[in-house]
Structure 1
């Protein structure tokens, strides 16, 4: 069996079953490990699954893997978790290290191959530390260009509408500048319930549940090492480590420390409701004596050119329009769904092989530097 066939799955149910079965391997090193299952949302059998155990003799540190915050991206995240268990578990000192692996933070999105929750919420814009401090109209750039981002009718001719979206986005870039349009996307918005990048009007159930785990780990361990799996952003077929500005190290310093070529920092000022920023804020405000490493690991698909970013914008907007309004022609519906999958979970063998290669790079670089992997 090829490695890609072993690690990559095609349905939420298959991915979840694979994850749940990892408990057997984990119990060999952490006999007290347990599987926790939390039902999420209105539909039956959508669950967040967590495998957790403290260290055998002491809790010096904990390894925290999370996946599926953006539903469809959870397939690749689960693949990386499976790879870690199969290839690296033996290199972890289970006597002093706890383990906490999370499958499908957004199970509805993963099951339905969408990024968002059943409430159309982008979970990575839903972790607000002080909800009253964020005004609904925080995203001025989005509001100015909301006609681009809002669904208003069925998809009638995807080729024509894709071209028109390109033109609208290009004009928007002329009005607001390229950085303005990018800011509209990254900031998230809290006004338009059917729009893209919606952060929600209240805390999502998934976010509530994950916050309990964040707080538990920060409270019970002096060191927390967190890796969160994502797809789409960054150079094609490469992994990019994305860290919060709360980490005071410079990008070049981290590139040298972790021996990784692609490392980017982002600021909470430009991204509202990001889960990594929330984790750091919680750490600073309530558990200042705990060391926290927390980063997103993005496996790139479309690339980083302006053309690629236009394609990304267009794909997300069309998929959102399709979900809310539908399409007149079945071939247009299929094209949008395929393009969306190409952006977040491509089935090309080359990309999937690159994910495994780059995942090994990320795991070895970060977990060795952070003292999780024991070197011979």
Structure 2
């Protein structure tokens, strides 16, 4: 695949809305299985997570490609999945290998351009074991009113940022980042809220895994597409804490030394609670390798401002979600996770193409 072809593919396969992305995916995979969402889109449209499977039904090795875990991050994930199909990798699968596409896992968030699920949860914090005590996050509880201040005026934002700066100076950047991002389970409507029970999107993923007998496979590689963290256009291959060093070494063997892990201090992300990897670790143990391919967009201050405003909208003004103000805030969220720039689109697709090939080569080499 040459540079010109990637440029042309980017122009075609990136979409402007969830519905457009879904139409393109279904055009490429007309026999996909649809898993409905109980919520509707901004125009009252029905929403679905669409799933396609290629390869032997009893394949012992499986590649799982997940887009839209965090709503508008699905713009890249959908295009990357279409790129995989354009490369015809699904027609050249190694013996005893299959691939499972999960398109728009959080279809509600994708349609509304918000990271959260219909319940207002961060899906990538929702996979804790809710039968056990929830992970505490006292730092978040202290800062919640400043992370998402009800007063959105310039003065209100300034007061909130001052309080956050004071916390950082007192406790340090590491404690601040952990408080903000690791996940919290006590402040509905707040940042990175993990919920009090499995969300509908989580239950959808669990049903997909059961429907396709994923737990019976000998080896599973999961690629979960994300955006919004790190340098512009760079795709960081992140491992998560639940898989530990064993999972990291499995990923490094497949994807090379650019793989990162929070425990080693190499990741742009802190350790997180309730991630998809936590679920796959319970489901498959050492038979799985999970990576979140995280593509940078804009400076983190801009991204966090968009996240803050999106949470403010649905926490304090939910009835205005489709007003002029609501659309302005949701469009800013979309831009933060999906730079509609030709250079960014080419950069992220090149990395996706490499990651896809590496995963298939690893499955073929066993």
Q: What band does the TM-score fall into relative to the shorter chain? A: 0.7 to 0.9
For residues 1-376 of structure 1, the aligned pairs below 5 Å read: 2-23=8-29, 34-43=31-40, 45-55=46-56, 59-89=59-89, 92-93=92-93, 96-128=96-128, 130-135=129-134, 138-153=136-151, 155-157=152-154, 163-215=158-210, 216-245=212-241, 246-249=243-246, 255=252, 258-259=255-256, 261-265=258-262, 270-284=271-285, 291-302=287-298, 308-326=299-317, 336-371=329-364
1:149 is displaced (CA, Å) by 2.1
**CA shift at 1:165, angstroms?**
4.4
* Per-residue CA distance 1:235-279 (angstroms, 9 max, x = gap): 221101111231434868855752353533459994221111211
Report what 1:31 is aligned to: none
For normalisation by structure 2, the TM-score amounts to 0.84
RMSD value over aligned CA atoms? 3.0
**Alpha-carbon distance between aligned partners in 2 of 1:9 and 1:104, rounded to the nearest angstrom:** 13
Check whether the contact 1:62–1:223 (CA below 8 A) recurs between aligned residues.
yes
Q: Which moves more between the two structures, 230-239 or 209-218?
A: 209-218
The residue matched to 2:352 in structure 1 has which SS?
helix
Alignment partners' CA distance in 1, 2:357 and 2:65: 14
TM-score, reference length from structure 1? 0.82
Determine the C-alpha separation between the residues in 2 that align with 1:110 and 1:83.
19
Displacement of 1:148 after TM fit? 1.1
What are the superposed Cα offsets for residues 162-200 of structure 1, whole Å, 9 maximum, x if unpaired?
554443332221132211111112221111112111111
- Residues 127 and 263 (structure 1 numbering): CA distance in 2 closer, same or farther, change over 3 Å? same
Asked whether the 8 Å contact 1:55–1:94 carries over to 2, the reply is: no
Q: How many residues align?
A: 346
For 1:176 and 1:280, locate their aligned partners in 2 and report how far apart those are by CA, in whole Å.
Answer: 32
Residues of 2 paired with 1:171 and 1:354: CA distance? 37
Tell me, yes or no, if the aligned pair for 1:214 and 1:279 is still in contact at 8 Å: no
> Cα deviations across residues 91-116 of structure 1 (Å, max 9, x unaligned)?
63265222210111111110011100
Q: Which residues of structure 2 form unaligned runs of 5+?
A: 1-6
